[in-house]
């Protein structure tokens, strides 16, 4: 019988290396279908080579390592390389950035739950995949569970199914040396107010944390990736940045153990500017915050960048400058020092109904 490796020390070191003030995660794990939608918006063909070119643009940005501590990759991307032949995983490691990977396989309807309530797929061969990713040099993973508010949702069934799935995923990751990012995303779709959003946020995250305890998860070796507590996208009255910050930190303080090194927020369809300002407001609060509050943004880091690129090599430097601007903004926001932007394009809504990766 092969003796199990105790990865706890390494897991804790990795989690703390990623979740440190001034740094955050670049989520570049868009699936083939999702990256295709981004390319369609700039008139670019959706193929493996164009995806590779775009990821090379991101990963070779000069100041990436000054603001980004971890990058989430799509599985295909872990095997790709720069035009000069440098594997992307190795490139990130050489730049002092921790490589991670998306390991979930999408979602499916939960039998007996409300229409549209889903569970995340991918547990069956997860241990094998995690072991292979660790051997590649990858040190953390991401798994997205999705819940929604409205019409009796989320049901207890959906909450428990997704909480348990997240916990099982987290346990399998830790047994194979990967820090799990635990992502219970409550979609912003709906006309609910921020009080309802907070109530659901607390209920969901409490269930997730209980499931993590029940599965003997090492809390010092995980990262959380929740949504921020906001009003629904079609709510008649929208909460401002200060209220969002206060409700979110209160919701976290009621549910997330202080042992967790970092809360790496998802942007959830907020504009680039909203995502930065809301994070900044949280880090200015005088409320107790035992975790690093940072970011794991995809759209909110890349939207202006990919438009500036437009699929053209001659625009690479310009696109990298735009990416650097957004990285610096969010880096400052983790310190409560972001002053805001006058760039109107950064305030464009990135909301997509029933968003899937």
Catalytic residues: 183, 225
Task: Give the dihedral of Cα atoms 102, 103, 108, 112; nearest 10 deg.
Answer: -120
- CA–CA distance from 207 to each of 112, 200, 353 (Å)? 19, 11, 25
Residues 6 or more apart in contact with residue 86 via CB below 8 angstroms: none
Instruction: Compute the Cα dihedral for 89, 95, 101, 102 and give only its sign.
Output: negative
Return the closest-CA partner of residue 186 out of 169, 201, 166: 201
Residue 128 CB contacts under 8 Å (≥ 6 apart), including other chains: none
For 130-155, letters b (16+ CB in 10 Å) and e give beebbeeebbbbbbbbbbbbbeebbe
184, containing H or E segment: strand 179-186
| 351 in Cβ contact with 24 (< 8 Å) | no
d(CA 228, CA 238): 13
Which position has the token pair 């369609």? 40
């Amino acid at each position: 019988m092969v003796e199990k490796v105790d990865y706890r020390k390494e897991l804790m070191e990795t989690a703390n290396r990623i979740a440190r003030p001034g740094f955050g995660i670049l989520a570049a794990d868009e699936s083939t279908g999702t990256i295709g939608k981004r390319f369609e918006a700039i008139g670019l063909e959706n193929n493996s080579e164009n995806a590779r070119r775009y990821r090379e643009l991101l990963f070779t940005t000069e100041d990436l390592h000054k603001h980004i501590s971890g990058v989430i990759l799509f599985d295909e991307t872990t095997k790709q390389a720069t035009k000069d032949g440098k594997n992307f995983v190795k490139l990130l490691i050489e730049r002092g950035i921790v490589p991670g990977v998306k390991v979930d396989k999408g979602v499916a309807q939960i039998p007996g739950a409300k229409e549209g309530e889903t569970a995340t797929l991918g547990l069956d061969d997860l241990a094998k995949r995690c072991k292979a990713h660790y051997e590649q040099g990858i040190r953390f993973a991401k798994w997205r569970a999705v819940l929604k508010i409205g019409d009796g949702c989320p049901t207890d069934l959906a909450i428990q199914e997704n909480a348990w799935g997240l916990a099982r995923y987290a346990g399998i990751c830790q047994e194979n040396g990967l820090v799990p990012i635990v992502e219970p995303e409550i979609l912003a779709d709906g006309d609910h107010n921020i009080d309802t959003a907070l109530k659901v946020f607390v209920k969901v995250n409490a269930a997730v944390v209980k499931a993590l305890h029940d599965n003997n998860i090492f809390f010092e070796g995980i990262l959380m990736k929740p949504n921020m507590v906001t009003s629904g996208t079609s709510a008649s009255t929208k909460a401002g940045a200060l209220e969002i910050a206060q409700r979110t930190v209160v919701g976290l303080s009621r549910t997330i153990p202080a042992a967790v090194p970092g809360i790496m927020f998802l942007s959830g369809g907020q504009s680039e500017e909203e995502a930065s300002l809301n994070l900044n407001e949280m880090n200015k609060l005088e409320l107790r915050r035992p975790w690093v509050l940072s970011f794991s943004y995809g759209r909110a880091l890349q939207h202006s960048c990919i438009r500036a690129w437009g699929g053209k090599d001659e625009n690479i430097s310009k696109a990298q400058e735009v990416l650097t601007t957004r990285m610096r903004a969010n880096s400052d926001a983790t310190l409560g020092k972001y002053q805001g932007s006058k760039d109107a394009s950064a305030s464009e809504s990135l909301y997509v109904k029933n968003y899937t990766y």
